[in-house]
């Protein structure tokens, strides 16, 4: 065998191994971060805030792409819809979720109190 043949064979094996590793890593990432469940129109309509709980910016289409719906999940508790003005606010929310969830709960209580009684 010529040295160049061994080099090519080694290079092909290395490329194949790298491709397999990248595929496995991508698959593992998908298992860890599955696609979020869809948020119903009813849940969006019932959301008590018209502004981002983190930034205070309006929940509307903007230069950052518009409202981002996020389902906050805690073991043993129902998922909670939290709406943000952009994806960047999710990081800040996750630093202190209890603080922001409290604001959402207070807004929901105020909205319920202000709703006309039938």
Torsion, Cα 67 34 48 105, to 10 degrees, reads -130
Q: Are residues 51 and 88 in the same domain?
A: yes
Q: Are residues 69 and 23 in the same domain?
A: no
Q: Are residues 72 and 101 in the same domain?
A: yes
Integer Cα distance of 59 and 67 in angstroms: 5
- C-beta atoms surrounding 67 within 10 Å: 19
Q: Are residues 29 and 51 in the same domain?
A: no
- Domain coverage including residue 18: 1-35
Q: Are residues 50 and 30 in the same domain?
A: no
- 23 compared with 42, residue with greater pLDDT: 42
What tens digit of pLDDT does each residue of 96-118 get?
A: 999 999 999 999 999 999 887 76
Q: Are residues 56 and 71 in the same domain?
A: yes
- Number of domains observed in the structure of the chain: 2
What token pair was written down for 20?
């397999």
- C-beta atoms surrounding 81 within 10 Å: 15
Integer Cα distance of 118 and 116 in angstroms: 6
What tens digit of pLDDT does each residue of 38-97 get?
A: 788 898 899 999 999 999 999 988 776 779 999 999 999 999 999 999 999 999 999 999
Integer Cα distance of 52 and 73 in angstroms: 18
> The dihedral of CA 96, 97, 98, 100: what is its sign?
positive
């Amino acid at each position: 065998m010529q040295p160049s043949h061994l080099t090519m064979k080694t290079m092909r094996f290395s490329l194949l191994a790298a491709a397999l590793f990248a595929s496995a890593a991508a698959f593992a990432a998908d298992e860890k971060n599955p696609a979020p469940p869809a948020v119903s129109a009813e849940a969006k309509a019932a959301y008590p805030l018209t502004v981002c709980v983190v930034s205070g910016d309006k929940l509307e289409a903007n230069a950052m792409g518009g409202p981002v719906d996020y389902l906050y999940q805690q073991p043993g508790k129902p998922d909670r819809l939290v709406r943000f003005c952009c994806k960047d606010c999710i990081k800040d929310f996750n630093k202190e979720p209890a603080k922001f969830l409290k604001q959402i709960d207070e807004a929901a209580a105020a909205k319920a109190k202000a709703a006309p009684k039938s």
